[in-house]
Amino acid sequence: MTGPWDPKEGGAKPHGDEKSGPARVVGIGLLAFAVLMWISAPAVLLLPLSGGQKLWMGTALLVAGEVAFWVSAFVLGREVFRRYRGRLDPRRLWGRG
């Protein structure tokens, strides 16, 4: 993507275009936490718990993951998710796109 602030073109980035510092660390941490919760949810089925406990624990992990994902999206901003959306496209990951 080229534009007036593209480093290849010699332009400067507009102020506030990308999050940095503690907000970025918190956002990336929340995103990692969300992925961890989504991965942990199916693992609940392997625990020696009753059916009701597995249901509640799995649901709680999925809800916590979703909340963490959307909070990280808010903290990191729209541009970060746009940048990585193309890299995580399943068609592109398996060479079909």
If you average pLDDT over every residue of the chain, what do you get? 79
- At 28-59, the pLDDT tens digits run 899 899 999 999 999 999 999 999 999 999 99
Asked if 10 and 72 count as a contact pair (C-beta separation under 8 A), the reply is no
Counting beta carbons within 10 angstroms of the beta carbon of residue 46, is it exposed (0 to 12), middle (13 to 18) or buried (19 or more)? exposed
Amino acid at residue number 66: E
Count of beta carbons in the 10 Å neighbourhood of residue 36: 14
Amino acid at residue number 89: D
Tell whether the model's pLDDT for residue 87 goes beyond 80.
no
Q: Per mean pLDDT, which range of 13-17, 43-47, 65-69, 78-82 is the poorest?
A: 13-17
